[in-house]
Amino acid sequence: MRTLALLTLLSASSAFAAVDHEAAFKADIAPILEKSCANCHDPKKAKNGKVKSGFDSSSLKSIVKGGKELGEGITWGDVSKSSLYKTINLAATSPEDEMAMPPKKSHEKNPPLSKEQVAKIKAFIEAK
C-alpha cells in the first residue's frame, strides 16, 4: 500500500515537472530566432517565401523537424544531435565554418547569437 501511494505521488509530481516546450519556445526562443534567423529561414520573410536549406524557423514544430541537409533541428535532451544547436554554436566557436549560422557574410542583417542566447537554446533543447 505504501509503495502504491509513493508511486502515485511520484507520477503526479513528475507531471508538474514536465516542460511546456511550446510556451518556452514562444517566450524565450522565438524572439532570438526572429532576430538572427528569420530573414533566411521564415517563409514570411525569406526571399520568394523559400527558406534556405529547407529549414523553417517559424514554428517549434518545423524547427524540431529540421531542414533538408542536417537532419532533425531538435533532438530533445541531446544537443549533439540537434542541428539547430550545432549550427548556432559553430557561429560562436568557428564563425568561418560554412555550416555556422548565421553565416558570417550575413551578420549585418542577421546578427550572430550571443553566448547567453546560445546557452539559452542549449538549455531549452536539453529540457525534456
The answer as to whether 64 is a domain residue is yes
Give the residues of the chain that fall short of pLDDT 50: 1, 3-17
Quick one: pLDDT at residue 33?
A: 94
Quick one: pLDDT at residue 16?
A: 34
Residue 65, H or E segment: helix 60-65
Quick one: pLDDT at residue 56?
A: 93
Length of the chain as a residue count: 128
The count of domains in the chain is 1
Quick one: pLDDT at residue 18?
A: 58
The answer as to whether 34 is a domain residue is yes
- What are the C-alpha distances in Å from 53 to residues 57, 62, 68, 69? 11, 13, 6, 7
The answer as to whether 80 is a domain residue is yes
* C-alpha span between 69 and 45 (Å, rounded): 21
The answer as to whether 59 is a domain residue is yes
* C-alpha span between 36 and 29 (Å, rounded): 11
The answer as to whether 9 is a domain residue is no
The answer as to whether 97 is a domain residue is yes
Q: Which three cell numbers stand for residue 126?
A: 536539453
The answer as to whether 4 is a domain residue is no
Helix (H, G, I), strand (E, B) or coil at 117: helix
Quick one: pLDDT at residue 4?
A: 39
The answer as to whether 13 is a domain residue is no
- Burial grade of 73 (CB within 10 A; 0-12, 13-18, 19 or more): buried
The boundaries of the domain holding residue 31 are 18-126
